[in-house]
Amino acid sequence: MNAVDVHYIVEGPAEAPVLVLGGSLGSTLRIWDAQAARLSSRFRVVRFDTRGHGESPVPPGPYTIADLGHDVIALLDRLGVSKAHFCGVSLGGMTGMWLGAYAPDRIDRLVLCCTSARLGPPEMWAERARTVREQGVAALADTVVARWLTPEYAARNPGLARDLRDMIAATPAEGYAGCCGVIEHMDLTGILPTVRAATLVIAGADDPATPPTHGASIAAAIPGARMAIVPHAAHLANVEQADTVTALIMEHLDG
Ligand SMILES: O=C(O)CC1=CCC(=O)O1
């Protein structure tokens, strides 16, 4: 597994504790826009584009969850950061679980947002990868954004829903398909009991993709983990209930 040099931006005071933010399948680092200003008042916030997404390199897929984890370790190395907090949403949360288990000396506290340790059925991810390789990611952008936001929120915020749809559609097909391969083959359930980082699991109450039962399983398996369910939020609770999720992250990392 070869790490790639992912694209990143850094915000916040140079001497502050480092907080790395990882995004979901089909997103760029802009998925944390609503959190960035507040989090960077307290932390040195490092946001990155997952490989195959945004401005990061797009190596041929499929990728593995270990690939995504090693990309983060390589990023910490490039920045000269020995240990950081990590907060990831969805695919980013999966990367966070891997890091917590396999790079415990590099990870301080963990926030796992709207995620799952095993997200089946595998055939669905294989089918998605096939679809985007044949037709491009735009072919499923409407379907995915309907999982990201509740219908009520999307109706009240049509401009934002359109921006998110465009973000998904702009994802390189090979990068998106490569990350579908991560989820298709990933099962992190066995490693969760080895995670020693203080962990907060956040779930959106109305998330159709990684429902609160998935978060509850993660929280039950990681020693001492806490869980928060955010009302009126679908898969991207950090977008739909931005202030609530920012407050939960701050409280956990400062605790
Ligand atoms: O794309 C989806 O349907 C939801 C999702 C699963 C993993 C991820 O990052 O997003």
Instruction: Select from 65, 140, 210, 238 the residue to mutate for testing ligand 1; criterion: most ligand atoms less than 8 Å from CB.
Output: 210
Cα 14 to middle of ligand 1, angstroms: 33
- Nearest alpha carbon to residue 2 among 51, 55, 53: 51
Q: What φ, ψ does residue 49 adopt, rounded to 5°? A: -85, 125
Q: From the centroid of its chain, how far is CA 87?
A: 7
Specify the DSSP class assigned to residue 60: S
Tell me what pLDDT residue 255 has: 77
User: What distance in Å separates the CA atoms of residue 73 and residue 5, rounded to the nearest whole number?
Assistant: 10
Task: Please say whether the beta carbons of 48 and 6 come within 8 A.
Answer: yes
Task: Please say whether the beta carbons of 208 and 117 come within 8 A.
Answer: no
User: What distance in Å separates the CA atoms of residue 254 and residue 250, rounded to the nearest whole number?
Assistant: 6
Task: Please say whether the beta carbons of 22 and 95 come within 8 A.
Answer: yes
Tell me what pLDDT residue 1 has: 67
- Token digits of residue 124: 């669905």
User: What distance in Å separates the CA atoms of residue 136 and residue 132, rounded to the nearest whole number?
Assistant: 4
Q: What is the DSSP string of 167-191?
A: HHHTS-HHHHHHHHHHHHH---GGG
Can you give the pTM of this predicted structure? 0.98
Cα 92 to middle of ligand 1, angstroms: 10
Task: Judge if the beta carbon of residue 25 lies within 6 A of ligand 1.
Answer: yes
Cα 140 to middle of ligand 1, angstroms: 12
Is CATH 3.30.1540.10 correct for 8-117+188-253? no
Beta strand ranges found along the chain (DSSP E): 8-11, 18-22, 44-48, 84-89, 107-113, 199-204, 226-230
Q: Which atom of ligand 1 is nearest to the CA of 23?
A: 9
Residue tagged 């049509």 (tokens): 158
Task: Please say whether the beta carbons of 230 and 244 come within 8 A.
Answer: yes
**pLDDT, tens digit, 9 for 90 and up, residues 104-126:** 999 999 999 999 999 999 999 99
Q: Which residues of 194-211 are buried (b: 16+ CB within 10 A; e: fewer)?
A: ebebbbbbbbbebbebbb
Task: Judge if the beta carbon of residue 90 lies within 6 A of ligand 1.
Answer: yes
Tell me what pLDDT residue 72 has: 98
Three-class SS string for 31-43?
HHHHHHHHHCCCC
Helix (H) or strand (E) holding 86: strand 84-89
Helix (H, G, I), strand (E, B) or coil at 53: coil
- Diameter over CA atoms, the chain: 47
User: What distance in Å separates the CA atoms of residue 156 and residue 135, rounded to the nearest whole number?
Assistant: 30
Ranges of residues in the chain with a pLDDT under 50 are: none
Contacts of 142 (CB under 8 A, 6+ apart): 165
Helix (H, G, I), strand (E, B) or coil at 155: helix
Instruction: Please confirm whether the linkage preceding 208 is cis (ω < 30° from 0).
Output: no
Cα 106 to middle of ligand 1, angstroms: 26
Task: Judge if the beta carbon of residue 145 lies within 6 A of ligand 1.
Answer: no
